[in-house]
Structure 1
Amino acid sequence: MNRNKDLIINTLLPIIALSAVIAFHELGHLFAAKLFGIKVEVYSIGIGKKLWSFNSKNTEFALSLLPLGGYCKLKGGDSNNPNLDSDSMDSASPIKKIGIFFAGPLFNIILTSLLLIIIFMLPVHRNIPTTVIPLLGQNLPAEVSGIKMGDRILEIDSRPINNFSDISKTILLKDYPLEVKILRNEEIKNLSITPINSNGRLVIGIYPFIPLKVLSSRNTQIQKGSTITAINGVNTSNYYNMLEEIGNNVDFTISYKNSHGEFTETFTRKILGDLEFLELFSYNPITATLYGFSKTVDMFKQMAKMLADLFKKGEISKSISSPIRLVYDIGTSVDNVYSTGNILFTIETFLTIMASVSLALGFINLFPIPILDGGQILINFIVMIKGSPLKPSITQGYQMVGLLIILLLFVVGISNDIFYLGDL
């Protein structure tokens, strides 16, 4: 059973997620091509040998052998033997070609927004009210700046902080020193903190305070209204301290109290998914839609800023990875959450990762690199400004440069993944 679970979560789910994101990207090209009257010869989910296909409206829809990819083959596109039929890509105007190439990344952005809207409509934990800090990441900005456990954050850069979500929103895209006002033992202190980049997002290294009073329970022993007081005999008063004490242990003791008395019993990690310490909350469709689009814009800005920072620091080569690493990271992240037994949280995590991958695919495809959509957009923009087609030799040379860049990135990505996975 565990082997089947590992296969599904660590392999099949990541592959399905990646394939779905790529398929939606190619669907954008198909939609735009049909809109502009360009024939789509083949739309395939996966690459390689076709396993199954059917024809509809002059297009072959196929499911191919290798799921990590997909393609949308348009009529024409051979610079050595151009097809000048009216429904060929070769006869399309530059503005139509730009629209077709841009539609792929655009559909990825739309998919990201749709996934985020679904996430905001899920009944999960949101808006943790407290701004008290129960736990600090070691050697991270908050600890280095002098913040201590038990401090309450009042303001960041003169912006009032009312709940933990305000902290994340305030530091978004800000990698410069921030003035932080805290309350410690009834005394107000002012500190300076500079967020750092961690796995694509800016962090300062603090965790929210979540009291260990059980608000709902699917466990027959630790019932609603109980308060957890210790893990493995170590006193704890908040959720993240509890997780720190549990660590990677499969079995552990929990001390808890309720109206019937005080108890200490042994549990497995499944108990983590049976207990709720925060009320579940979901947004209505209209609010979720607004938040979904807003979050997409914020994520896009953060990706652009992160890329700029990597170039500035000369660390761009270290950040490149291949689909192998992506599949591993997706599987590991989902598996870690699934192990707690919280199905809703697992779904939210999977959809969040899928949204991030979709936006990243759209973002990267806008790069002005030959072969990528951004490179094709650049070529057709030049043709539109120039008023005449580029020489075939120039176009072919440009494509060759793009192919070499992609091959180089692939080799660097595979090399980085070998070292990364080898260190685990």
Structure 2
Amino acid sequence: MSWLVSLLVLSALIFFHELGHYAMARFFGVYIEIFSIGFGKKIASFRMFNTEWRIAMIPLGGYVKMKGQDDADPSVKSYDKDSYNSKTPLQRILILLAGPAANFILAFFLYVFIALGSPGILSPVIGAVKKDSPAFVAGLESNDTVTAIDGKSVATWEEMAEIISQNKGETLDLTVKRGETLLHVSLTPKLTLTKSMFNEDIYKPMIGIGSAGVTHKLELTPVEVLKYATNQTIFASTMIFKGVEKLITGDVPAKEMGGVISIVKITSDATAQGWMAVLFFAALISVNLGVLNLLPIPALDGGHIMFNLYEMITRRAPSEAVLVRLTVAGWVILFGLMGLGLYNDINRLIG
């Protein structure tokens, strides 16, 4: 059942992406021939709004087939009034941007729902204290609760960790609650070798404590809900952009890359944890789809945006021969990345 939910979630995210393209294209008067969820042979379809809506056999994506646009054969074009090619480069760019934008907007609203559900968040309660660390030397103990640092109140483990990680070698004054007693503890964070979220070896200021795993409900005002959703969407987008950058530069090995099996498995695992976890991973995957589709690969939205920017700047469209070669190269890159992700997924499954 959880696998079915994960496939439905993935299909819903693809649907919203393509719906963004569809809505903007219709706004500019482009005729939409096909709106498909999935690739390959269609298994169900119906007609509505003068468009064929279909579900195809391979649920690894989707597409909106606009009049005058064919990624399989870029040389096939139409310049009728209701075709994609008859629109200005700026209009075509807006149509292309609408898909990723729909994913970012969807992620924002998913984070809003998460915030309204009062998600659990780690409290700044200390668990293990590493021997000979700054915290150990300063006398911090398990079950101590950090309530403020240098007079600034902290309510979550994340807030506390952020302040410590930005330390430049200065001594910090921690206000600590131990039982019913408030203590003031002074310590200086120490540069420590640790792992980043991308599994890199990095040095950052730390005090040698671990979380006790205590959580509390995040109760937010309407304004704080919007701020939470905005910050989470920006953080997820930034994290994915950085991840792609580190894959390209080799800072993160290619074996860390996952494919559709990883997406389905993570969402499936989240299903077992409840609807809050499903919404969280759905939002993250939605941002992922938005970011990845903006990459300047000719087979993706980002590649088509590049072609149209070129036309806007030079006042002429790329030659048909160049367009065909770049599109073929884009599909090779795209299928290569999908194949690598699938290969890594299978390796993880078989250990």
Using the size of structure 2 for normalisation, the TM-score is: 0.81
Match of 1:350 in 2: 278
1:204-250: CA deviation from partner (whole Å, max 9, x where unpaired): 7732563xxxxxxxxxxxxxxxxxxxxxxxxxxxx8xxxxxxxxxxx
Q: In the alignment, residue 266 of structure 2 is paired with which amino acid?
A: D
Q: CA deviation at 1:189?
A: 1.4
Secondary structure of the structure 1 residue equivalent to 2:211 = coil
Q: Would the aligned equivalents of 2:107 and 2:287 in 1 still touch at CA under 8 Å?
A: yes
Structure 2 residue 210 is matched with structure 1 residue 206: yes
Out of 99, 110, 116, the position equivalent to 2:111 is 116
Q: Mind listing any 5+ residue stretches in structure 2 that lack a counterpart?
A: 177-182
Match of 2:41 in 1: 49
1:330-386: CA deviation from partner (whole Å, max 9, x where unpaired): 222432x2xxxxxxxx11111000000000110111111111111110111011101
Q: How does 1:303-322 map to 2 (within 5 A)?
A: 303-322=240-259
Match of 1:35 in 2: 27
Q: Would the aligned equivalents of 2:147 and 2:155 in 1 still touch at CA under 8 Å?
A: no
Q: How does 1:15-414 map to 2 (within 5 A)?
A: 15-78=7-70, 79-126=74-121, 128=123, 131-135=124-128, 146-148=134-136, 150=142, 153=146, 160-167=152-159, 170=162, 181=172, 182=174, 187-193=185-191, 196-198=195-197, 206-208=210-212, 210=214, 278=216, 280=217, 282-335=219-272, 337=273, 346-414=274-342
Q: Would the aligned equivalents of 2:125 and 2:212 in 1 still touch at CA under 8 Å?
A: yes
Q: In the alignment, residue 238 of structure 2 is paired with which amino acid?
A: K
Alpha-carbon spacing, 1:171–1:387, altered in 2? closer, same or farther (3 Å): farther
Task: Give the Cα–Cα distance (whole angstroms) in 2 for the partners of residues 331 and 77 of structure 1.
Answer: 35
Alpha-carbon spacing, 1:102–1:305, altered in 2? closer, same or farther (3 Å): same
Alpha-carbon spacing, 1:145–1:169, altered in 2? closer, same or farther (3 Å): closer
Task: Give the Cα–Cα distance (whole angstroms) in 1 for the partners of residues 67 and 251 of structure 2.
Answer: 41
Task: Give the Cα–Cα distance (whole angstroms) in 2 for the partners of residues 295 and 418 of structure 1.
Answer: 31
Task: Give the Cα–Cα distance (whole angstroms) in 1 for the partners of residues 131 and 324 of structure 2.
Answer: 54
Using the size of structure 1 for normalisation, the TM-score is: 0.68
Task: Give the Cα–Cα distance (whole angstroms) in 1 for the partners of residues 295 and 160 of structure 2.
Answer: 28
Q: Would the aligned equivalents of 1:200 and 1:303 in 2 still touch at CA under 8 Å?
A: no
Q: Mind listing any 5+ residue stretches in structure 1 that lack a counterpart?
A: 1-7, 137-141, 211-238, 240-277, 338-345
Q: CA deviation at 1:318?
A: 2.4
Q: CA deviation at 1:308?
A: 3.3
Q: Which moved more, 1:402-411 or 1:114-123?
A: 402-411
Q: Would the aligned equivalents of 1:119 and 1:352 in 2 still touch at CA under 8 Å?
A: yes
Secondary structure of the structure 2 residue equivalent to 1:206 = strand
Q: Would the aligned equivalents of 1:161 and 1:167 in 2 still touch at CA under 8 Å?
A: no
What do you get for the CA RMSD once the two structures are aligned? Answer: 3.3
Alpha-carbon spacing, 1:56–1:147, altered in 2? closer, same or farther (3 Å): same
Task: Give the Cα–Cα distance (whole angstroms) in 1 for the partners of residues 268 and 34 of structure 2.
Answer: 31
Task: Give the Cα–Cα distance (whole angstroms) in 2 for the partners of residues 22 and 88 of structure 1.
Answer: 23
Structure 2 residue 3 is matched with structure 1 residue 14: no
Secondary structure of the structure 2 residue equivalent to 1:77 = coil
Q: Would the aligned equivalents of 1:180 and 1:193 in 2 still touch at CA under 8 Å?
A: no
Match of 2:179 in 1: none
Alpha-carbon spacing, 1:193–1:309, altered in 2? closer, same or farther (3 Å): farther
Q: In the alignment, residue 57 of structure 2 is paired with which amino acid?
A: L
Task: Give the Cα–Cα distance (whole angstroms) in 2 for the partners of residues 143 and 375 of structure 1.
Answer: 53
Q: In the alignment, residue 207 of structure 1 is paired with which amino acid?
A: S
Q: In the alignment, residue 290 of structure 1 is paired with which amino acid?
A: K
Q: In the alignment, residue 411 of structure 1 is paired with which amino acid?
A: G
Q: Would the aligned equivalents of 1:75 and 1:88 in 2 still touch at CA under 8 Å?
A: yes
1:136-189: CA deviation from partner (whole Å, max 9, x where unpaired): 7xxxxx889654553655777x683522255278279x7997867357886421
Q: CA deviation at 1:314?
A: 3.3
Task: Give the Cα–Cα distance (whole angstroms) in 2 for the partners of residues 304 and 159 of structure 1.
Answer: 35
Alpha-carbon spacing, 1:59–1:200, altered in 2? closer, same or farther (3 Å): farther
Task: Give the Cα–Cα distance (whole angstroms) in 2 for the partners of residues 81 and 70 of structure 1.
Answer: 20
